[in-house]
Amino acid sequence: MGSTRHQRLTGLALAALLLGGLACHPPRNPMAEWLPSPNHNARRPQLIVIHHTAEKSFDISLKVLQTQNSGGPVSSHYLIGRDGRLAQLVSDDHRAYHAGGGTWGPYRDLNSLSIGIELDNTGFEPFADAQIDRLLLLLEDITKRFNIPRTQVVAHADVDPIRKQDPSGFFPWQRLADKGFGLWPDPVLADPPPAFDGWAVLRLIGYSLKDPAATLRAFHLHYHHTETTDLDEQDRKILFNLQTKVLAEGRAKSN
Ligand SMILES: [Zn+2]
């Protein structure tokens, strides 16, 4: 009996070891021979999407992000509290359900291509300094680790203007821009030429023009807090300036 039990335990330990060992391997397709090549690295995200939770506390936000909201299961990769508490809910390697349905320039399926960061905030209050301080550290970390251009930090409303309006107009994009994050205009803006097409630049930046009014609302939420129903002079100046930055970045990428 003793010997049989010992053999059984040894067998179990061996099985656990084998399973553990197998778990370390990346998933392989059993229908193919595994003839590995060293010429690869991990797939990586291209974009960082900022949200606000529209909840009253970190704990309530966490509960929603670990279960679901009225629209179904939802989660970002990270959640940052008002006091700067930083939690990771989903591995950077996995798709978190935070930007489904959004698009940005050529990018579709943003859940596959982006890292989502939720900031605990009702949407009707300023963002706490400690929270933004922590966000800046996290952006530094993510952009470096995945080699994401620092300008590729966008609002949920930017990528899904018809359905979303977060983060709110309280979000301090200027503080991000001071560290080089996000696409942000210079303090002094030149006048664009008369033939300048601001809508074409919105598309160049990445905005969808499927619903121009919604896109304009998202652009105003991010860059210029006004409610005009068409691009005004300030919008056109901002877009003229952003166009230069986007084109310069495109040139830098192709070098
Ligand atoms: Zn959102």
pLDDT, position 21: 45
What is the separation of C-alpha 61 from the centre of its chain, rounded to a whole number of angstroms? 17
Q: Which residue ranges make up each domain of the chain?
A: 47-178, 198-247
pLDDT, position 2: 41
Q: How far is it, in rounded angstroms, from Cα 61 to Cα 88?
A: 13
Low-confidence ranges of the chain (pLDDT < 70): 1-25, 252-255
| Cis status of the peptide bond prior to 167, with omega within 30 of 0 | yes
| Partners of 47 in the β-ladder | 114
CA of 37 to the centre of ligand 1 (A): 39
Q: At what angle do helices 233-254 and 198-205 cross, to 10 degrees?
A: 40
Q: What are phi and psi of 154, to 5 degrees?
A: -130, 165
pLDDT, position 5: 52
Q: Which residues does the annotation mark as catalytic?
A: 118
CA of 213 to the centre of ligand 1 (A): 19
Question: Mind giving me the DSSP string for 103-166?
Answer: -BTTB--HHHHEEEEEE---SSSPPPHHHHHHHHHHHHHHHHHHT--TT-EEEHHHH-TTT---
Q: How far is it, in rounded angstroms, from Cα 111 to Cα 103?
A: 10
CA of 54 to the centre of ligand 1 (A): 9
What is the separation of C-alpha 91 from the centre of its chain, rounded to a whole number of angstroms? 13
| Partners of 78 in the β-ladder | 88, 117
CA of 20 to the centre of ligand 1 (A): 37
CA of 99 to the centre of ligand 1 (A): 7
CA angle centred on 80, ends 79 and 83, rounded to 5°: 150
Homologous superfamily of domain range 47-178: Peptidoglycan recognition protein-like (3.40.80.10)
